[in-house]
Structure 1
Amino acid sequence: MSREKKINVAKALSVQLRATEEAIDTALSEAAHLIETYVTSRRAIHMSTIIGNDVHQNTLKAMMALSTAQQHMTAAHTNLTLVQAQIGLGNVAVLPADDKPAPPPTGYYVTPVEEEVITAE
């Protein structure tokens, strides 16, 4: 198999790996939002924490399972790096150049909720 074809296959795998990792991150975020929404809703109607406690517990269990899945994907990522070396691609960059956004300039930070750049004063 040509080196170019190996690189193209590695790029396709890399894109899928990143998509899978992103899906797990999104699921974790959505589950956390579910807990937040549930607690806020419960408070809004003055419902006891005893009622519906299983909702909270089962969502937390799902989040733990997602965390375990995330750990397994990290291991798969490491394994794919080893495979890359085994097929002779070594340290060839297979990720798109824009795979990760550039960090904000020094003196700025990104707020997690609003996702807007704010100057540090």
Structure 2
Amino acid sequence: MSKEKKINVARALTAQLHASEEAIDTALTEAAHLIETYVTSRRAINMSAIIGADVHKHTLEAMIALRDAQEHMSAAHAALRQVQTQVGLSPSAVVPINDKPEKDDKDGPTGRLVTPEQAA
């Protein structure tokens, strides 16, 4: 297989990996929103927290499973890096060092933790 074809295949895999990681992040966000909506709705109708507590419990358990999925995707990411090396491609041949897709929103999240002092 030509180097160019390997690079194209690696780029396609990288794009799909990022899409998978983003899907998990989106699912976590939606689950958190479900909890928020449930609690707000419950309070709006003055319903006891005891009633429907399983909704909250099961949603939190789903969020834990999604966190586990994030961990597995990180492991898959590392495994793909090993495959890339095994097929003779350097990391820079496929993607930049920061291999997250660039967004058009320059003011949006960067995926990096920033302290309040750094943000100022």
TM over 0.5: yes
Give 1:100's aligned residue: 102
Q: Are the aligned partners of 2:31 and 2:59 in contact in 1 as well (CA < 8 Å)?
A: yes
Gaps of 5+ in 1: 112-119
Give the Cα–Cα distance (whole angstroms) in 1 for the partners of residues 86 and 9 of structure 2: 14
Give the count of matched residue pairs. 109
Q: Which digits, 9 at most, give the CA deviation of each residue in 1:17-62, with x for residues without a partner?
A: 0000000000000000000000000000000000000000000000
What are the ranges of 5 or more consecutive residues in structure 2 without an aligned counterpart?
A: 110-118
Contact 1:28 1:63 in 2 (8 A): yes
Shift of 1:93: 4.0
Deviation at 1:91, TM superposition (A): 2.1
Which amino acid in structure 2 is aligned with residue 39 of structure 1?
V
How far apart are residue 90 of structure 1 and its match? 1.6
Offset from partner CA, 1:63-94 (integer Å, 9 cap, x none): 00000000000000010011101100022342
Percent sequence identity is: 63
Q: CA RMSD in A?
A: 2.5
Of structures 1 and 2, the one with the larger relative CO (CA 8 A, separation 6+) is 2
The answer for the alignment partner of 1:47 in structure 2 is 47
TM-score by length of 2: 0.81
Q: TM-score, normalised by structure 1?
A: 0.81
Q: Which has the higher strand share?
A: 1
Q: Which residue of the partner structure matches residue 4 of structure 1?
A: 4
Match of 1:114 in 2: none
